[in-house]
C-alpha cells in the first residue's frame, strides 16, 4: 500500500458558485425556503418567511381550497350579477320609452299569449316596467335590487343568486298566468329576493324582524294600492323563499348537487303548471277556442 501526499485545499474562491436552478447562467446565494434550491431574483416569490421558488408557490396554491360563499359557490368579490340585472332592466325600460307598444305588446306577461305558445313572456316580463309617465315602478324595484342584491349575491354566490332571481321571476309570472290576465314588472323577482333575505337571516341567526316588517308592509301595499298584481308579487315571494331555503339549508355533503336538484325541481314544477293547467283568469271561451 503506497502512501499519498496530503491533498492541499483549493484556493479561496475556487469553490463552485451556486446558480439559479431555472437560469444556470445566473449566480445566486438565495435558496427557496421549501425545496432549498438556489433561485435568482426573477424566480423569487415572497413568502411568510424568506422566499420560495415558482414551482413551490404553484404547488402550494394547488393545495389551497378556493374561497367560497356562505351557501356554496365561488366567493364574490364584486356583485356582477346584480349590476348586470340593473343594467338589463334599465336598457329594457329605455326600449319601452322609445317603442312602448312594440316592446310591451310583444314581451310583457299576458296569460292568453303564454297559453297560445308565447312562453318567452314568462321571463321577458321580469325586465319590463310600467311605461312613462309612471316612473315609481322601476325606481322602487331597482332601488330594492341595489339595496339587497349585493348582499344576497355575496352570501349565495353569483350563479345561485342569478338562479334564485330568475326562478322567482318565473314563479311570479306563472302565478299571473294562473290567476291573472296581464302584468308587467320585475316585482316578482324582487319579492323573491325579500323572501331570500328572510331565509338568509334565519339561517345565519340574524334578527329577522326587520325583514318580516319589510315583507309585511309590501304585501299590504300590494292589496291596498289598486293596479298592482298581487299574483306576481306573491308568486315571486313564495318561489324565491322556497328556492332560497333549499339553497341555504342544503347539507354540506353534496351541497352543490342538492342545490342543483332543488333548482331543477322548482323549474320543472313551474313548467308543468303552465303546460298542464289553463289560465283561470281568462274566460273559458278564449282558453278552449
The grid coordinates listed for 289 are 277556442
Specify the range with the lowest mean pLDDT, choosing from 10-24, 38-52, 166-180, 221-235. 10-24
Does residue 38 contact residue 21 with C-beta atoms inside 8 Å? Answer: yes
More confidently predicted of 105 and 73: 105
Task: Tell me the mean pLDDT in the region 210-235.
Answer: 88
Specify the range with the lowest mean pLDDT, choosing from 84-93, 129-138, 206-215. 129-138
173 is catalytic: no
CA 254/CA 170 separation, integer angstroms: 26
Task: Tell me the mean pLDDT in the region 225-235.
Answer: 89
Instruction: Tell me what pLDDT residue 202 has.
Output: 92
Percent of the chain with pLDDT over 70: 88
Instruction: Tell me what pLDDT residue 73 has.
Output: 81
Instruction: Tell me what pLDDT residue 14 has.
Output: 47
Q: How confident is the model at residue 289 (pLDDT cuts 50, 70, 90)?
A: very low
Task: Tell me the mean pLDDT in the region 93-97.
Answer: 92
Q: 3-class DSSP state for residue 104?
A: helix
Does the pTM surpass 0.95? The reply is: no
Task: Tell me the mean pLDDT in the region 155-174.
Answer: 96
Q: Where are the domains of the chain?
A: 16-56, 80-288
187 is catalytic: yes
Instruction: Indicate which residue of 111, 158, 173, 187 is catalytic.
Output: 187
Spacing of C-alpha 24 from chain mean position:
48
Q: 3-class DSSP state for residue 51?
A: strand
More confidently predicted of 23 and 286: 23
Instruction: Indicate which residue of 51, 129, 137, 233 is catalytic.
Output: 233
Residue 38, phi then psi, degrees to nearest 5: -70, 140
CA 10/CA 210 separation, integer angstroms: 82
pLDDT digits (tens, 9 = 90+) for 104-158: 999 999 999 999 999 999 999 999 998 877 788 899 999 999 999 999 999 999 9
The grid coordinates listed for 128 are 319590463
Does residue 174 contact residue 242 with C-beta atoms inside 8 Å? Answer: no
Instruction: Tell me what pLDDT residue 162 has.
Output: 97
Does residue 182 contact residue 112 with C-beta atoms inside 8 Å? Answer: no
Q: Which long-range contacts (CB under 8 A, 24 or more apart) does 88-92 make?
A: 88/127, 89/127, 89/129, 89/138, 89/141, 89/142, 89/145, 89/186, 90/138, 90/142, 92/127, 92/128, 92/129
Residues 80-288: name the CATH superfamily: Rhomboid-like (1.20.1540.10)
Question: Which residues have CB under 8 Å from 70's CB, separation 6+?
Answer: 154, 155, 156, 204
Amino acid at each position: 500500500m503506497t502512501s499519498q501526499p496530503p491533498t492541499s485545499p483549493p484556493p479561496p474562491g475556487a469553490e463552485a458558485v451556486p446558480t439559479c436552478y431555472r437560469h444556470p447562467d445566473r449566480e445566486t446565494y438565495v435558496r427557496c425556503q421549501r425545496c432549498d434550491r438556489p433561485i435568482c431574483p426573477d424566480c423569487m416569490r415572497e413568502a411568510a418567511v424568506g422566499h420560495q421558488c415558482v414551482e413551490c408557490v404553484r404547488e402550494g396554491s394547488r393545495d389551497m381550497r378556493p374561497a367560497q360563499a356562505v351557501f356554496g359557490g365561488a366567493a364574490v368579490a364584486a356583485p356582477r350579477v346584480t349590476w348586470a340585472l340593473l343594467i338589463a332592466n334599465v336598457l329594457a325600460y329605455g326600449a319601452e320609452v322609445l317603442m312602448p307598444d312594440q316592446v310591451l305588446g310583444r314581451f310583457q306577461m299576458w296569460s292568453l299569449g303564454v297559453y297560445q305558445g308565447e312562453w318567452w313572456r314568462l321571463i321577458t316580463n321580469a325586465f319590463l316596467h310600467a311605461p312613462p309617465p309612471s316612473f315609481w315602478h322601476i325606481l322602487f324595484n331597482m332601488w330594492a335590487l341595489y339595496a339587497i342584491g349585493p348582499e344576497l349575491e355575496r352570501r349565495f354566490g353569483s350563479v345561485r343568486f342569478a338562479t334564485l332571481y330568475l326562478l322567482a321571476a318565473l314563479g311570479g309570472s306563472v302565478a299571473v298566468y294562473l290567476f291573472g290576465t296581464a302584468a308587467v314588472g320585475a316585482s316578482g323577482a324582487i319579492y323573491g329576493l325579500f323572501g331570500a333575505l328572510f331565509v338568509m337571516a334565519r339561517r345565519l341567526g340574524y334578527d329577522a324582524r326587520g325583514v318580516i316588517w319589510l315583507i309585511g308592509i309590501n304585501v299590504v301595499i300590494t292589496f291596498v294600492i289598486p293596479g298592482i298584481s298581487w299574483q306576481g308579487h306573491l308568486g315571486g315571494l313564495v318561489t324565491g323563499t322556497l328556492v332560497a331555503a333549499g339553497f341555504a339549508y342544503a347539507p354540506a355533503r353534496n351541497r352543490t348537487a342538492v342545490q342543483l336538484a332543488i333548482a331543477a325541481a322548482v323549474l320543472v314544477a313551474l313548467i308543468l303548471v303552465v303546460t298542464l293547467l289553463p289560465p283561470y283568469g281568462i274566460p273559458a271561451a278564449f282558453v278552449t277556442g
